[in-house]
Structure 1
Amino acid sequence: MVPVRLTGPRLAIREFHHTPGDIDALYAVFGDPVATRHLPFGPYDRESCADQVAQYLEEALRDERTVYRLAVTLRADGTDSADPADGGAPIGSAALTLGEHRSAVLGYALRPDTWGHGYAGEITGLLCDLAFGTLGVHRLAARVDVDNTASSRVLTRAGFQLEGRIRHDLHLRDTWYDSFQYSLLADEWAGAGTGAGQRAGG
């Protein structure tokens, strides 16, 4: 396993640790009905979040790693970490799932009290750099609940193109939900000429 560590102007993205602090932090996101309102699952209980962190570590240790589920932290908050660059307790999670033909799917979730500060844009930029740079992805996709206008704006600002609406893409809590599908290609990201630091205002 080669641990992932990404740093932006305000955020650090790292591997999850199977510690009470990281489990509690994930529960603060995945256990919150508001935070999971536009996600395809949840809310989870704390035990389920502990199981999720264990699964993330198993995925990270695979010889052919195809799933990157990572902790999003504030760089200024090093109180829970010996290394301030680690960012302390997570405020959310970020994910890349690799597919066939050099494709990947991007996702993220943040604690509601951190919304509205442009963190989602910074996460998206850092994940794009990881996908198109280190991982050699050609096509990056993201699906968004049609009512999640904030995430749609984040993706659009990062250069993602709306491909269409997927009808009844998700069945959750006895309700069918539609999704918007967005995509970004490697040459579109590189052609922008800016890195994650310049894309952090989303």
Structure 2
Amino acid sequence: MVPVQLTGSRLTVREHHHTPEEVEALHALFGDPEVTRYLPFGPRTPEDCADQLELYVEEALAEPRRVYRLAVALREDPGAAPIGQGSLFLGRHRSAHLGYALRRDAWGLGHGGELARLLCGLAFGPLGVHRLVAVVEVGNPASSRVLTRLGFQLEGRLRHDVCKDGVWSDAFQYSLLSDEWQPSEAGSEAGSGAGG
């Protein structure tokens, strides 16, 4: 495994570590009902988060690696507890799914756009992805804005895409192709030590 290390103007994206501090940080993210409101799962317990981190480490060691779930920290203190997570799920025909989530106290600061940009750089650069897809619940316009600013195109509405707590919700599907990607926009300094 070649560990992923991405650096932006304000964020660092790296591999997760299975430590008590990281379990606590993941629970601060995925244990918050406001954060999971637009995710396909509800709030997770600390035990769930510990199990998830174990899975993330296993996925990182898989050969070939198909799943990248990465911790997001502030660049000024990369050793501090993560403030979010970014993910890429590699599919067939050089495609991938993009996902991201940030702690509530990191919302509205531009971190979502920087994180998504760093993940796009990893996908279209070292990972050689041609088509990147992102799915956003219709009630989450902030995430839709992040994607459209990066050049993602709306492909359509997925009706009853997710059922959570007995309630179905629709989602918008966006995509970005490698020849549409503009890596130099928004001044991100993406450096990568990623391998696929």
Question: Are the structure 2 counterparts of residues 193 and 9 from structure 1 closer, same or farther at C-alpha, using a change threshold of 3 Å?
Answer: closer
Whether contact under 8 Å (1:11, 1:87) holds in the other structure is no
In structure 1, the gaps of 5 or more residues are: 78-85
| Structure-1-length-normalised TM-score | 0.91
Aligned to 2:187: 197
* In 2, Cα distance between equivalents of 1:59 and 1:124: 21
- In structure 2, the residue matched to 1:14 is 14
Contact 1:96 1:105 in 2 (8 A): yes
Q: Which residue of 1 aligns with 2:131?
A: 139
Alignment of 1:44-83 (within 5 A): 44-77=44-77
Q: Deviations over 1:68-119 (max 9, x none)?
A: 0000000112xxxxxxxx3421001000000000000000011001100000
C-alpha deviation, 1:3, in angstroms: 0.6
Q: Which one-letter code corresponds to 2:151 in the other structure?
A: G
1:76 and 1:198 map into 2 onto residues whose CA distance is 15
CA separation of 1:116 and 1:142: change in aligned 2, threshold 3 A: same
Aligned-residue sequence identity (percent) comes to 64
The separation in 1 between residues aligned to 2:52 and 2:107, in whole angstroms, is 23
Q: Give me the whole-angstrom Cα distance separating, in 2, the residues matched to 1:112 and 1:33.
A: 10
User: Is the Cα contact below 8 Å between 2:7 and 2:189 reproduced in 1?
Assistant: no
Structure 1 distance, partners of 2:175, 2:33, is 28
CA distance in 2, matches of 1:76, 1:4: 18
**Equivalences for residues 133-172 of structure 1 within 5 A:** 133-172=125-164
SS across alignment from 1:134: coil
* Secondary structure class of the residue paired with 2:25: helix
| Per-residue Cα deviation, 1:1-38 (whole angstroms, up to 9, x for no partner) | 11100000000000000011111000001000001000
Q: Indicate if the aligned counterparts of 1:125 and 1:199 stay in contact, CA closer than 8 A.
A: no
The answer to whether the 8 A contact 2:67-2:88 is kept is: yes
Q: Distance in 2 between matches of 1:51 and 1:197?
A: 36
Residue in 2 that maps onto 1:30: 30
- Deviations 1:55-78 (CA, angstroms, capped at 9, x unpaired): 00000001100000000000112x
Post-superposition offset of 1:197:
3.1
Note if 1:95 corresponds to 2:87: yes
TM-score w.r.t. the length of structure 2 is 0.94
User: Residue type matched to 1:197 in 2?
Assistant: G
Counting matched residue pairs gives 190
Distance in structure 2 (CA, Å) of the matches to 1:38 and 1:111: 13
Q: Within 1, Cα distance between the matches of 2:164 and 2:41? A: 7
CA distance, structure 1, for counterparts of residue 187 and residue 60 of structure 2: 26
**Contact conserved, 1:125 with 1:197, CA < 8 A, in 2?**
no
Long gaps (5+) in structure 2: 191-196
Give the residue type in structure 1 aligned to 2:187: G
Q: Quote the Cα distance in structure 2 between the aligned partners of 1:97 and 1:52.
A: 15
Over 3 Å counting, the alpha-carbon distance change for 1:199 and 1:42 in structure 2 is: farther
1 or 2 for the larger relative contact order (CA 8 Å, sep ≥6)? 2
Superposition pairs for residues 105-144 of structure 1, below 5 Å? Answer: 105-144=97-136
